[in-house]
A and B are shown apart, each in its own frame.
Chain A
Amino acid sequence: MAEFFQALASQPFLQTALIAGLLASLGCGVAGTFVVVKRITFLAGGIAHSVLGGMGAALYYGLDPLAGALVAAVVSALLIGWVRLAWRTQEDTLIGALWAIGMAVGVLFIAKTPGYASDLMSYLFGNILLVSERDLWVMLGLDALLLLMVGLFFRQFLAVSFDEEHARLRGVPVALFYLLLLVLVAVTVVVLIQVVGLILVIALLTLPAAIAAHYVHSVGRMMLLATLLGSVFTTSGLALSYAPDLPAGPTMVLLAGAVYLASAVLSRALAGWRARRSLAASLVARMDGGSHG
């Protein structure tokens, strides 16, 4: 750890990595909370994995993979959203198909791109140490877009996440806000891919929010706590992985996963303890009432 903090002061690439982790945390806090409360982890997984198709195509045609990822994420979010809105009965099969097709397209493009095979691993599992300063600006811009949209239309996103039928009755354009929410999830996925890669994205997107849900009970507070947890996981994952030269992405995800499991056990125990305590309190109250009456 000490070695990491010394290196952090002198190595610009580590500083960039640290900032990338913090920018990613904002995405996992805000978009991740909606993914968790709306229970669309599977949809988000589909979006994340089909991003590889866009990255592969961009590489093959000599374009910027980040731009390819962004286009692919938005297209697959709209496609998956449309599938969900129009084909409710076979939704999961269709999303599973898009998930796999996107990856297959990506792998084929990368295989046919000379000299880029090694990039495949960093797309799949991320390499936060390779984030460039320009990537940081893109991540910052995407975060700003996310915060702006959620800030302007928080009520609508909350209503669509909570009760679509009621939102429709109140005149909220449900399909529009549903698709917009998925696009924001897609944008967040692209930000997170820079840090942990597309296979592990789903962990960083959902685990901090899921942990937060154990302790706070409003969507706004979940967002705050999940952002905080996300920054703890990315920063300490980076720090822990530095000295033993481990890949940073899996270290972060393992950390988040371990805390999530421990928290799930702890919160269940806490709920049980509270239930017993309130039962005991009501028994005592009844006995008191009896002695006076």
Chain B
Amino acid sequence: MSGAHPASVIELAGVSFSYGAGLVVEGVDLRVADGEFLGLVGPNAGGKSTLLKLILGLLEPQTGSVRVLGRLPRETRRSLGYVPQYPGFARDFPITAEQVVLMGRLGLGSAIGPYRRRDREAARRALAEVEAGDLGGRQIGTLSGGQLQRVLLARALVGEPRILLLDEPTANIDQRMEGEIFDLLRTLNERLTIVVVSHDVAFISAYVTRVACINRTLVCHRTDAIDGAVIQALYGEPVRMVSHAHGHVH
């Protein structure tokens, strides 16, 4: 969106990571341009979620570098919205959907005292944007899988991020709902860069502007020399599926 030279908002260079035994991610170079809708696909345990956590700065690469908006992930975290595959909370926690969304406002404004009116307004807007305006008062334990996913999306959006990262956002919901969520993401992509992890290439290729396949290492077209013309070409055209040598995704 910055004219002739759209900057990369995410840059991974030679990134390798290991949880202890064996590399989960090896030598990954990946640049995500401003305004992209990137699908990160690959087999289970192929390192997709790990890659997201490296971008978020929840994990540190053993080698290589990760830059988000030109800085270390830790410094730009608040410009990222994240929808995890397995949220780290108990479903029976006594809290309403609106309170959960409000937590996405932490880190904006004063650290002391309660949420302000503009926080509450932002939470209501975010819930409305994901078509969950009527769920604000509901206990999170009473939400269906699809409803919870919308609330988590609202929590990611309410912090006014520039980049949205989603890890298998439709893993636990039915197919009709899956389409609705991705329609929503397509609309959000008009103002946000989106990276979505999925194991389902066939489904997401109808929505994303580019697919990157990861199975420990990256197998991906167009990782280098992303210039304005390429972005132009990628927009408004059906996405080209990346054909790759690994036969485990279909």
Contact = CB atoms under 8 A, between A and B. Distances in A.
Contacts of A168: 58
Contacts of B58: 165, 168-169
A218 B77 CA distance: 28
Given A155-B114, A159-B106, A169 B94 contact: no
A136 to B, nearest CB: 30
Contacts of B80: 169
A170 B112 contact: no
A166 interface: yes
Contacts of B104: 166, 170
A219 B139 CA distance: 12
Interface string B70-113: 00000001101010100111100111100110011011000111
A159 B88 CA distance: 11
Is the interface on chain A under 10, 10 to 19, 20 to 34, or 35 or more residues? 20 to 34
A2 interface: no
Given A154-B114, A165-B84, A217 B94 contact: yes
Contact of A222 (B94, B96, B139): B94
B235 interface: no
A91 B89 CA distance: 19
A225 B94 CA distance: 14
Interface in B107-130: 107, 111-115
A166 B88 contact: yes
B118 to A, nearest CB: 15
Contacts of B87: 163, 166
B153 to A, nearest CB: 13
Contact of B95 (A153, A169, A218): A218
Given A164-B88, A167-B106, 18 more contacts: A153-B112, A155-B103, A155-B106, A156-B111, A158-B95, A161-B93, A162-B100, A162-B103, A163-B88, A163-B103, A165-B88, A169-B56, A171-B78, A171-B107, A172-B107, A217-B96, A217-B139, A218-B94
14 contacts: A153-B111, A161-B93, A163-B88, A163-B89, A164-B88, A165-B58, A166-B87, A167-B103, A169-B58, A170-B77, A213-B94, A217-B94, A217-B96, A219-B95
